[in-house]
Amino acid sequence: MEIKEVIGIDVSKLTLDCCIHTSRKLKVFGNNFSEIHSLINWVSKSVKNSKDQILFVFEHTGLYSDLLANLLSKNGFLIHLASGLEIKRSMGITRGKDDKTDAKRIATYGYRLREEINPTKLPSMTLVKLKRLMSMRKKLVMQRAGHMATIREHKSILKGEKIFFQVQQRVIAVLTRQINTLEKEMDRIILEDPELESMLQLLVGVKGIGKVTARFLIVYTVGFTAFDTWRKFASYCGIAPFPYRSGTSIRGRTKVSRLANMEGKSLMHLCATSAIQCNPEMKAYYERRLKKGKNKMSTLNIIRNKLLARAFAVISRGTPYVNTMKYAS
């Protein structure tokens, strides 16, 4: 496959600013079904290359870019959903900003990297639905945690104001019911898909990994197809350590990067702390490292990576994790 033309698109809620890189043609379309079909027709008439030689590049903006990505894929075009930060940093020093200029810059970004870019494979509708339910669950859990924290803080101060606590307790009860409803719906969706159900069972078989983290891994790895190795996903989650040194004068400590999916990092941290409690092997490893004077957080990070490696391994093999420590003499 050789990419000969790149179409850069700046996506917003209402409009799509498009730029054909070679000819620098610009045109604005609405972000809706009929207008996206007009965009496809405009590109087909303006570009003489075949579909497999044309790459559409645009930023992943959630709901605003979903329709565009789906319609382009259904029409047989190659797409690449790029990170906004990656596009921004590729531009170098820039002055000013508007949608048309951004479309040109995105087209230039895609054309420069056309030989390195891997076209994006869209997840199935099942995984898309799971991701949306997970996002809603996360918001409700955060709201519930906020109300619970407020009650704890004010118990010793507002002892006589019962209504203050009653209202918040009712809100917490409602949020808990809705969270349970979302959990049941996610379980139902996974049970209806044998492949996803098998993945979930394999992942929760690894001591320390629960259902919430298992669902996260399945969705964000697109069924363990979007990342070649667990190390790449560790980098995505911000738990892969990177060196910081240059020449003979800079000798910083090796540490993780802040450019990460923070939800994934948080979940893997919870898994690591859970593994220390329920997994004798991880507990022994953790205590042995601390006795040697090793840093507590670096040890926890190693456990995060161990759990992630095991998660990828059980999916790759298709067999449950075996705790070899219980067979040790």
Angle between helices 262-278 and 280-291 (to 10 degrees): 100
Same domain, 243 and 188: no
Distances in whole angstroms, Cα of residue 281 to Cα of each of 202, 303, 328: 19, 11, 11
Half-sphere exposure (CA, 13 Å, Cβ side) for 294? 15
Same domain, 61 and 129: no
The answer to whether position 214 is within a domain reads: no
Same domain, 252 and 290: yes
**How sure is the predictor about 233, in pLDDT bands with cuts at 50, 70 and 90?**
very high
The answer to whether position 208 is within a domain reads: no
Range(s) of the domain holding residue 274: 230-327
Render pLDDT for 11-57 as a digit per residue (tens, 0 to 9).
999 999 999 999 999 999 999 999 999 999 999 999 988 999 999 99
213 CB-near residues (< 8 Å, 6+ apart): 203, 267, 268, 270, 271
pLDDT of 92: 79
Of 18-22, 148-152, 188-192, 321-325, which range is least confident? 321-325
Cβ pair 79, 120 in contact under 8 A: yes
Same domain, 99 and 132: no
Number of neighbours of residue 171 by Cβ within 10 angstroms: 14
The answer to whether position 129 is within a domain reads: yes
pLDDT of 93: 78
Same domain, 106 and 140: no
Q: Domain end: 112, 146, 170, which one?
A: 112
Same domain, 323 and 259: yes
pLDDT of 276: 94
* Position 177 pLDDT exceeds 60: yes
Same domain, 105 and 137: no
The answer to whether position 103 is within a domain reads: yes
* Position 328 pLDDT exceeds 60: no
Mean pLDDT in the chain? 91
Of 6-15, 115-124, 159-168, 275-284, which range is least confident? 159-168
Into how many domains does the chain fold?
3
**How sure is the predictor about 327, in pLDDT bands with cuts at 50, 70 and 90?**
low
Render pLDDT for 123-157 as a digit per residue (tens, 0 to 9).
999 999 999 999 999 999 999 999 999 888 887 77
The answer to whether position 222 is within a domain reads: no
**How sure is the predictor about 86, in pLDDT bands with cuts at 50, 70 and 90?**
confident
Task: Give the percent of the chain with pLDDT over 70.
Answer: 97
Q: Domain end: 192, 214, 245, which one?
A: 192
pLDDT of 325: 66
pLDDT of 181: 97
Task: Give the percent of the chain with pLDDT over 90.
Answer: 70
For range 271-285, the mean pLDDT: 93
Q: Domain end: 163, 192, 221, which one?
A: 192
The answer to whether position 300 is within a domain reads: yes
Same domain, 64 and 143: no
Same domain, 240 and 308: yes
For range 109-120, the mean pLDDT: 90
Kindly report the CATH number assigned to the domain that includes residue 53: 3.30.420.40
Same domain, 35 and 90: yes
* Position 329 pLDDT exceeds 50: no
Q: Give the C-alpha separation, 297 to 253, whole Å.
A: 13
The answer to whether position 211 is within a domain reads: no
**How sure is the predictor about 2, in pLDDT bands with cuts at 50, 70 and 90?**
confident
Task: Identify the residue with better confidence: 105 or 250.
Answer: 105
For range 254-274, the mean pLDDT: 91
The answer to whether position 206 is within a domain reads: no
Cβ pair 202, 315 in contact under 8 A: yes
Same domain, 92 and 139: no
Same domain, 159 and 248: no
- The amino acid at 103: A
